[in-house]
Amino acid sequence: MPLPEKALIARIRRSATNGRRVVTGIGDDSAVLAIPKGHQALVTTDFSLEGVHFRREWHPPDSVGHRCLARGLSDIAAMGGEPITAFLSLGLPRDLPQKWVDAFVRGLLKLAADYGVSLAGGDTAESPAGVLADIIVLGSVPRGKAVLRSGARPGDRIYVTGGLGASAATLKLLFAGKGRIRARDFQQHFYPNPLIDVGRFLRENNLASAMIDISDGLSTDLSHICEESGVGAEILEEAIPKAIIGRPAREVDLRAALHGGEDYELLFTAKRGKRIPRKIAGVGITQIGRVTRGREIMFINQYGVGQELHSQGWEHFRR
């Protein structure tokens, strides 16, 4: 077993004690968890692999830890759920500096603490190549109230939170290798906020008919809602909110906003006539289009001319 493992388990054990609903955490064969009465369990798993989801030369270790957990929390947000606890399976190369591991765990635990989430277990192993992390988040939602991808109906309006394309545009700069990219100027890419409060508000107030988080890009994630709901969509070019990134701050291009992944904004639909606030939990909400009877996603440009929008798979670093 790699050297960092013992320190890691010790750290996780310390953080594991403060879980409200964790009856037994690290130190047994399984974690034992209490799901609140009248609730269902939510479970999501997400890989963070070196060279696929992050690069050690680009991403500070605390950003890698933060993003690792943010991916899982965002999936819980997209169901309108509340996270309870997380599990981390972590494969570390033998030569990885202890300092890197410490900062990774620190980044992950800081985000966990911000959301009242404990770390209740996981697995560790020596990795044959690169850092391998798999995050599992367990959450809960009142019985039958999870906001699914399959609930969109023709006539529903389509909304997104925040601005889109920040992460993809930041990656483009990293690829180009021009100038210095300081993590603090590109928060949405390095330290994305999972929108738990927004998802919960929408669920509690019965506002969203379908929801997904934008991890693969608007064009792809909207197609997921359309497929699962058996509907089409129409979105307006001029309505797409483009993210603002960097210093000096500038707007990302349309391509990043339409197809860029890993923004962890929420995309949801709501019945026509539902009053959707302009801001929820401090996050701006923008109507970008409507659900249609067809099966295609139509993209209407500023001159009112429509063309079919094809989803462009977000393949992380391979473009």
- Select the span of 26-34, 174-182, 189-197, 231-239 touching a copy of itself (CB under 8 A): 26-34
Q: Which of 6, 10, 14, 123 binds a copy of itself (CB under 8 A)?
A: 123
The DSSP bridge partners found for residue 137 are 44, 86
Assess contact for 232 and 297: CB atoms under 8 A.
Answer: yes
23: left (phi over 0), alpha (psi -120 to 50) or beta: alpha
SS3 assignment, position 102: helix
Side chain identity at residue 41, one-letter code: A
Side chain identity at residue 308, one-letter code: E
CB of 125 to a copy of itself, least distance (A): 5
Assess contact for 160 and 266: CB atoms under 8 A.
Answer: yes
29 binds a copy of itself, rule: CB under 8 A: yes
CB of 50 to a copy of itself, least distance (A): 7
95 binds a copy of itself, rule: CB under 8 A: no
5 binds a copy of itself, rule: CB under 8 A: no
Q: Report the alpha-carbon distance of residue 115 to residue 142 in Å, rounded.
A: 19
Instruction: State the binding string over 138-167 for a copy of itself (x if CB under 8 A, else -).
Output: xx-x-x--x-xxx-----------------
Residue reference for tokens 């440009």: 301
The DSSP bridge partners found for residue 280 are 283
The count of chain residues that interact with a copy of itself, using the rule CB under 8 A, is 63
228 binds a copy of itself, rule: CB under 8 A: yes
Instruction: State both tokens at 65.
Output: 């830890």
Binding site for a copy of itself (CB under 8 A): 1, 23-24, 27-35, 40-47, 49-53, 74-76, 78-79, 81, 87, 89, 91, 120-130, 132, 134, 136-139, 141, 143, 146, 148-150, 211-213, 228, 313, 315
